[in-house]
Amino acid sequence: MVKKIGILTSGGDCAGLNAVIRAVTLRATNEYGWKVYGLRDGTLGLMKNPIDVVELKPDFFDGNLMRMGGTFLGSNNKGNPFGTIEKDGKKIEVSELIINSFNKLELDALIGIGGDGSLKILQSLTKKGNIKFIGIPKTIDNDVKHNELSIGYDTAVDVATNALDMLQPTAASHRRAMILEVMGRDAGHIALNAGIAGGADVILIPEIPYSIKGIAHHIDQIRSTGRNHALIVVAEAVKKEDGKKATVKFVDGEVRLGGIGAYLGDEIYKLTDAETRVTVLGHVQRGAQPTHRDRLIASAFGVKAVDLIANGKYNRVVVWKDRSVQDVALDDIAGKSQTLSKTDPLIEVAKGLGIYIGEFN
Ligand code: F6P
């Protein structure tokens, strides 16, 4: 008999996380009479003494929480829960600490909201700890396998589209080629979708090779029609022409994606003499107010996740497929990302609109 469940958000935050926590809480308490505990900062809350956990009740969500970006539980996209830490002069296995805390809370099941990487970590942890687990996919990158829509993705595309809407007038006023660098890791979903919706002339995604000459030729064609400006969207993991990723070494020693926009700006200027400017959209794609679609997906995923537990179905991930919420084995999803296929229908749409989207030979 299930009486108490835990819920945590893991990995990079995104819009719609508060809405999914709300949906889980409402369904679990109102329909099944369970208690719901929010674990803070991903698995970090379970490493604290006392354990950082909060009981969630429906009235907690009476205010505007579901309308807000971020996750009020906090999240974490760093660290390895399978490493060791030093405590009181002793080496402790982090995973043991997390599992012990989970057991101390006497929770009957765990709902973990995360992307492919987080789901992989949670799969290993819950297997090791024999914890009953349900996953919910969230990531602006929208790269979770077997899933058409992840929580947070729609909002990120909306933000990027709005950015193009705002770049167009200033591009036209100054006769410039405006480059917008968007997130998405190795998947081009945000760039492709926002690029089409925002009227881009060039869309570069990691899945399709391009050439600077091809872009320059496209810009010359635009000029020949009498238009004096252009919009270019580039996904952060697009490589330079020499095949190297554009990265930045941060002061903490970590190397992160970044700089492809600036690279393109210089290269395009050299070949076309077009004045270029670069906007790196960054984390505003994650922190915005969730769109109606993200709230809907979050609500549908939350209800389904609780119902799976009620039906004794575990080690499943809820997914959005063919206009419905379905569930897929965790083993088929954890750690397996899904980038854009070269035959994606939207690539054909982009081509059909005359957008330069790369070299297809
Ligand atoms: O995976 C989500 C994501 O926003 C990526 O699109 C981006 O590359 C990365 O996280 C940024 O991570 P951080 O918040 O650590 O800078």
Per-residue pLDDT at 14 exceeds 90: yes
Determine if ligand 1 sits within 6 Å of the CB of residue 154: no
Distance from Cα 11 to the centre of ligand 1, integer Å: 9
Query: Which two tokens mark 123?
Result: 């799969």
Give catalytic residue positions. Answer: 141
Class for the domain spanning 156-286: alpha beta
For residue 120, count other CB atoms closer than 10 A to its CB. Answer: 17
Nearest to 294, CA basis, from 129, 55, 67? 67
pLDDT at 349: 98
Q: How close is the Cα of 12 to the center of ligand 1, in Å?
A: 6
Is residue 80 very low, low, confident or very high in pLDDT (cuts 50, 70, 90)?
confident
Cβ–ligand 1 contact at 182 (below 6 Å) = no
Mean pLDDT, residues 71-77:
96
What percentage of residues in the chain have a pLDDT greater than 70? 100
Return d(Cα 228, Cα 40) in angstroms, integer: 51
Chain mean pLDDT for the chain: 96
Give me the residue spans of the domains in the chain.
Answer: 4-151+290-332, 156-286
Write out pLDDT tens, residues 215-256.
Answer: 999 999 999 999 999 999 999 999 999 999 999 999 999 999
> 30 CA to middle of ligand 1, Å?
35
Cα dihedral 47, 50, 51, 57, rounded to 10, equals: -160
Distance from residue 90's CA to the centre of ligand 1 (Å): 34
pLDDT at 90: 86
> Which residue, 16, 11, 23, 7, is CA-closest to 304?
23
Atom of ligand 1 nearest to the CA of 140: 2
Cα separation, 73 vs 21, in Å, equals 9
What is the reported pLDDT for 231?
A: 98
* Residue (of 133, 259, 266, 285) closest to 212 by Cα position: 266
- Ligand 1 atom nearest residue 184's Cα: 6
Fold agreement (4-151+290-332, 156-286): yes
Cα distance between residue 35 and residue 189, in whole Å: 37
User: How high is the pLDDT of residue 78?
Assistant: 87
For residue 221, which amino acid is it? Q
| 156 CB within 6 A, ligand 1 | no
What average pLDDT score do residues 288-292 get? 97
Q: What is the pLDDT of residue 201?
A: 98
| CB 77 less than 6 A from any atom of ligand 1 | yes
- The arrangement of secondary structure in 4-151+290-332, i.e. its CATH architecture, is 3-Layer(aba) Sandwich (3.40)
Q: 144, 119 in Cβ contact below 8 A? A: yes
Side-chain half-sphere CA neighbours of 169 within 13 A: 4
The pLDDT of residue 31 is above 90: yes
How many Cα neighbours within 13 Å face the side chain of 234? 32
- Give residue 169's pLDDT band: very low, low, confident or very high (50, 70, 90): very high
C-alpha 289, offset from chain centre? 15
**For 87-137, what is each residue's pLDDT tens digit?**
788 888 999 999 999 999 999 999 999 999 999 999 999 999 999 999 999
Q: Is the CB of 170 under 6 A from ligand 1?
A: no
